[in-house]
Amino acid sequence: MPVIISGSQGTTTISGSGVSGSLTVTGSLIVSGSNTITNYGAFTSNEAGGDFDFRVESSGEPNMLFVDAGENRVGIGTVSPSKRLHVSGSVGDASILVESDSKTIELLPANGPSIRFGTDTDTDYYMSVGAFGGYNQISLQHGYTDFQITGSLGGIGYYFDQPGGNVGIGTQAPSASLHVSSSGDAALLQVDGAANGTVLFVTGSGQVGVGTTSPASRLHISASTESLSGEKLLEVTGKANGTVLFVTGSGRVGIGTATPATTLDIIGGASGDQLRFGHGPTNYYKIGRNTSTGYLDFQGTQGGYTGYTFKNDDGSTDLTILDSGYVGIGTATPNSTFQVSGSQAGNYTVISGSMTLDETHYIADLTGGIAATVTLPAASGVTGRTYHILTTYQGDEVLTITGSGGQFMGSSQQAGPEDEIGITGSAQSVTLVSTGAYWFILTDNRQQQEEGGGGG
């Protein structure tokens, strides 16, 4: 059938079986009818590259495809594309779908925007990445689909167990909210601060470092300063009791205090029971300051089995205090209130002139040829106290012994208690003990004898 071109002014109609060669149309070219336009070769629009737009209409969309030749942009559903490819439409159809072998990637501006990855046969089996629900998020639509991030070198990397809600790093079976796993001793976790460097460091071998990246034990806390006041290494506080345990970088430990003043500083409550040693909750020894007396109290709680021993480096006993109150020096089994296994010694003082004896004196010796007076304290305040007074000089000087309270009595005081006694000459001695009322002459090694009668 020949090609027929007909029409009135302003309109040209082409009909027939085809056109061979070039067809140049100036003005509008309108093709009507239901026939298909088939192109068996290359088709070029706007060959000259002019500012001539290209538009395709559909039954319900006037701008199904629009090429903005002046801006070099393509629009779908819009006559004014603002990007190289601009798709515009209603909530339900303004998406872009890329499909290959039933696997799809879909760009969804509505309710997002988001990118959805899944299959075209299962609408419940996909993952969405985007801004929706008020958050920037990755959403797994299927309830049994986990999420994993891996690198090109392999390994598990990051793993999210959706049914359990757990996150795994280095494991596909996280058993906790955050589960970090390593196949070796490499670093598992490192937390750094802007000013203090590494704050927390965890290795695969089970060692934790605080302030260090090379922990040498299960828990290794390292200080950055070593001042006397000490950097805080560890602090444990109670809800009602304040600081329970405090450790400084200078090596000081405080129990009950945040300002330890020495290597170990224990501050307890008013009960006086600050430190306990023992077995179980009932049999123990306690040490503490008695708030009533101000004394340091040592007390055992197991009746019949309490006592104290002080031993030297070879294990032998130096001092024993039994539950009965017996004290032994050099023995572990004292059988008296005070028992010494070994020699005894008391404070030895040379009398170089008149003097007053007190609790620091025990043996007083006149070694020079001088006359002197020794005054004893009041007998009433020192019941049981003993003094040994002797003369070892060569001569006939007199050593007078007097008391500031209480008289002297003994077997040589025939006339009764006296206010003073004397020693004349050398190589003599007297031992005196306070009865609370008198100074009693316990031993008398004086050469002279007191005159008088009665010892009353």
pLDDT, tens digit, 9 for 90 and up, residues 319-336: 999 988 899 999 999 999
**What range defines the domain where residue 132 resides?**
103-145
183 within some domain: no
145: which 2 tokens?
A: 């689909």
Residues 353, 427, single domain; the answer is yes
In the prediction, which pLDDT does 146 show? Answer: 74
76 within some domain: no
Q: How many structural domains is the chain composed of?
A: 3
Residues 361, 433, single domain; the answer is yes
Q: How many CB atoms lie within 10 A of CB 408?
A: 23
409 within some domain: yes
For range 149-162, the mean pLDDT: 70
Under 8 Å between Cβ of 107 and 131: no
Name the band, by pLDDT with cuts 50, 70 and 90, for residue 37.
Answer: low
In the prediction, which pLDDT does 387 show? Answer: 97
In the prediction, which pLDDT does 301 show? Answer: 82
**For the chain, percent of residues with pLDDT exceeding 90:** 26
Half-sphere exposure of 352 (CA within 13 A, CB side): 3
Residues 353, 410, single domain; the answer is yes
Residues 376, 414, single domain; the answer is yes
Cα dihedral 87, 90, 93, 98 sign: positive
Under 8 Å between Cβ of 198 and 190: yes
Residues 378, 331, single domain; the answer is no
For range 180-206, the mean pLDDT: 81
Integer-rounded Cα radius of gyration of the chain:
54
Residues 333, 400, single domain; the answer is no
**pLDDT digit string (tens) for 410-433?**
887 777 788 999 999 889 999 999
60 within some domain: no
354 within some domain: yes
Residues 417, 336, single domain; the answer is no
CATH number, position 430: 2.60.120.640
In the prediction, which pLDDT does 39 show? Answer: 63
Residues 432, 384, single domain; the answer is yes
Query: Over the chain, what HEC string results?
Result: CCCEEECCCCCCEEECCCCCCCCCCCCCCCCCCCCCCCCCCCCCCCCCCCCCCEEECCCCCCCCEEEECCCCEEEECCCCCCCCEEECCCCCCCCEEEEECCEEEEEECCCCCEEEEEECCCCCCEEEEEEECCEEEEEECCCCCCEEEEECCEEEEEEEECCCCEEEECCCCCCCCEEECCCCCCEEEEEEECCCEEEEEEECCCCEEECCCCCCCCEEECCCCCCCCCCEEEEEEECCCEEEEEEECCCCEEECCCCCCCCEEECCCCCCCCEEEEECCCEEEEEEECCCCCCEEEEECCCCCCEEEEECCCCCEEEEEECCCCEEECCCCCCCCEEECCCCCCCEEEECCCEECCCCCCEEEECCCCCEEEEECCHHHCCCCEEEEEECCCCCCEEEEEECCCEEECCCCCCCCECEEEEECCCEEEEEEECCCEEEEEEECCCCCCCCCCCC
In the prediction, which pLDDT does 115 show? Answer: 74
292 within some domain: no
Residues 376, 430, single domain; the answer is yes
Residues 383, 432, single domain; the answer is yes
Mean pLDDT of the chain: 80
Under 8 Å between Cβ of 158 and 174: no
Does this model's pTM top 0.75? My answer is no
Domain boundary among 340, 362, 387: 340
- More confidently predicted of 71 and 211: 71
Residues 367, 329, single domain; the answer is no
151 within some domain: no
Pairwise CA distance, residues 383 & 380, whole Å: 6
In the prediction, which pLDDT does 111 show? Answer: 63
Domain boundary among 112, 145, 178: 145
**pLDDT digit string (tens) for 73-103?**
998 889 998 999 888 877 667 677 777 777 7
In the prediction, which pLDDT does 327 show? Answer: 95
In the prediction, which pLDDT does 15 show? Answer: 59
154: which 2 tokens?
A: 């392999």
211 within some domain: no
Residues 352, 439, single domain; the answer is yes
Residue with tokens 């302030």: 211
